[in-house]
Copies of this chain bind each other. A is one copy, B any other.
Amino acid sequence: MSHAAISDVLAGKHQVDQQITLKGWVRTVRSNPNFAFINLHDGSCFDPIQIVADNKLSNYAEVCKLTTSCSLSVTGKLVESLGKGQSFEIQAESIEIIGLVEDPDTYPMAPKRHSVEYLREHAHLRPRTNMIGAVTRVRNCLAQAIHRYFHENGFQWIATPIITASDCEGAGEMFRVSTLDMVNPPLKEDGKVDFAEDFFGKEAFLTVSGQLNVETYACALSKVYTFGPTFRAENSNTSRHLAEFWMVEPELAFADLADVASCAENMLKYVFKAVLAERMDDLEFFDLRIQKGLIERLKTLSEQEFVRMDYTDAIEILKNCGQKFEFPVEWGIDLSSEHERYLAEKHVGGPVILQNYPKDIKAFYMRLNDDNKTVAAMDVLAPGIGEIIGGSQREDRLDVLDERMIEVGLSPNDYYWYRDLRRYGSVPHGGFGLGFERLVAYVTGMQNVRDVIPFPRTPKSATF
């Protein structure tokens, strides 16, 4: 394409006093009979660039009437800006008006403050706002950094299945995937739906996690990770829940809980550093408008050591700290956000990796410790949010795994392929899960995960 990106121009990558063409959308226009000043934006960075047009332009009258979101192609001379806050500007030689805005007075993204709820209702136009544009660039930066971190460290990206018909995953909070007629489905003699007639020949659902599947690849290629969508049919209308969200799930062979914890710490620091290095323009907006101190916190997090702490020690700390909690603290409880945040924010003053949880509050596949009471699980707790990562070493001993499955009411036969990994060259291995939208919310300071994914899916809402 014959035009330049505004990000490159503002970063000084183009020669001054040369002719250049830019294409983008109008943010604002100020004009008088002699000059018009247009802020032009193309989404490549936070800032627009200033276009200076004078009344010698043949279409100067039209230019003065431009409104927010009109699309333009501008050709002119790139010059250093004398105004404050701007490094460069364009002295327009010609302005081609590409697309106007129909009835500017009713344009839904008119330049004023909109509530986040209003923006969600206009999810197709909200990327045109400063806020959602910045979220989009930071989200992209984080995704790229995650792929880069794993690639540089010898991990293979694995696409685990989205549709799953494994009999083993309880269907309670899952979405069914089907092509059967809903009004007259084929029925079996017992009156139940005959899913043998369905597309996949059995009842199928949307995945809630790629972990069990990706373990099969870890037990062949050593270091692997997933990065894909996962689903929960929970009727949760909170700022932290989506019915459809993206998860990152690395899995390491020949690894114990300490290796998994190190991987989580290193990955988080890597992506925090990436966003600080690449998206300071957007972060400055979030720091100013969304959450004060955000940049400082990211800097600290990217350097500070993550403290390791045993669950059992954490319970003692919480019981003896003198702080009153809504939910009482006893060994065996699942920690609440208030407890996690106390540990990270007050007790440690930084991120904590909490390890070795009671087995009764954790999943069957986590490796049983020698005390027979706890499992090799870990959560990363971060200041300002609480749990951001959850992981574990996996049970690699077939007999212990079978016992645990029976204990929690699962049938080992349903997991024959998962059990095979323990029958044929079993190895210590483990991994963790990171909810990608929670990471984006944490890094941007955005309060609701619905505002950090382009088209959020929540109960009673799947528009666009």
Contact = CB atoms under 8 A, between A and B. Distances in A.
Interface string A247-277: 0000011110001000000000000000000
A17 interface: no
B417 A124 contact: yes
Interface residues of A, number: 110
A182 B184 CA distance: 9
A457 B200 contact: yes
A309 interface: no
A328 B316 CA distance: 81
A71 B182 contact: no
Interface in A44-67: 44
A133 interface: yes
A421 interface: yes
Contact of A254 (B3, B201, B428): B3
Given A43-B222, A175-B177, A140 B154 contact: no
Nearest to A212: B464
A38 interface: no
A177 B98 CA distance: 40
A435 B136 CA distance: 24
Contacts of A102: 423-424
A92 to B, nearest CB: 17
A287 interface: no
Contact of A100 (B7, B24, B199, B425): B425
A217 interface: yes
Contacts of A254: 1, 3, 23, 71, 73, 98
A99 interface: yes
A5 interface: yes
A101 interface: yes
B175 A71 contact: no
Interface string A116-144: 00000001110110000100110110011
Nearest to A25: B425
Interface in A398-456: 417-418, 420-421, 423-428, 453-455
B182 A157 contact: no
A222 B124 contact: no
A231 B177 CA distance: 11
A394 to B, nearest CB: 13
B144 A158 contact: no
Nearest to A456: B161
Interface stretch (A187-195, A293-301, A333-341, A364-372): A187-195
Nearest to A26: B425
Contact of A44 (B44, B137, B147, B222): B222
11 contacts: A1-B254, A25-B425, A42-B221, A69-B424, A101-B425, A160-B455, A161-B454, A163-B175, A163-B206, A163-B462, A183-B185
Interface of A: 1, 3, 5, 7, 23-26, 42-44, 69-71, 73, 98-102, 107-109, 123-125, 127-128, 133, 136-137, 139-140, 143-144, 147, 151, 154, 156-166, 175-180, 182-183, 185, 187, 191-193, 199-202, 204, 206, 213, 216-217, 219-223, 228-229, 231, 233, 235, 243-244, 246, 252-255, 259, 396, 417-418, 420-421, 423-428, 453-455, 457, 459-464
Given A124-B421, A183-B187, A200-B460, 12 more contacts: A1-B259, A124-B418, A125-B216, A133-B220, A136-B217, A137-B221, A139-B157, A143-B147, A147-B147, A162-B162, A204-B462, A417-B464
